[in-house]
Amino acid sequence: MAQNNSGGSRNDLVVRQANGALEQLKYEVAQELGINFPQDGYAGNLTSYENGSIGGTITKRLVTLAEQQLAGQFRQ
């Protein structure tokens, strides 16, 4: 596995301005999945399955958005 030489966490945002949108997405996805995500942001009481479901759904949405953006760039 590649090493992260930046000295930071693997979860550091490349675009820091995206933080608010990602936080909002997390709460929206949790609500859609019927998971009560605490408003204080502490997810320690959620199960691994619940956290994985939220993260997996977010990842699927972000990949879909990226694919749509890329497809739009290569239209003729």
* Residue spans of the chain under pLDDT 50: 1-4
Task: Report the pLDDT value the prediction gives residue 25, as an integer from 0 to 100.
Answer: 94
Per-state percent for the chain, helix, strand, coil, to nearest 5: 55, 0, 45
How would you label 26-53 residue by residue, b for 16+ Cβ within 10 Å and e otherwise? beebbeeeebebeeeeeeeebeeebeeb
List strand residue ranges (DSSP E) for 1-76, in order.
none
pTM assigned to the model: 0.75
- Give the single-character DSSP code of 40: T
Distance of CA 55 to the CA centre of its chain: 6
What pLDDT, on the 0 to 100 scale, is given for residue 11?
76
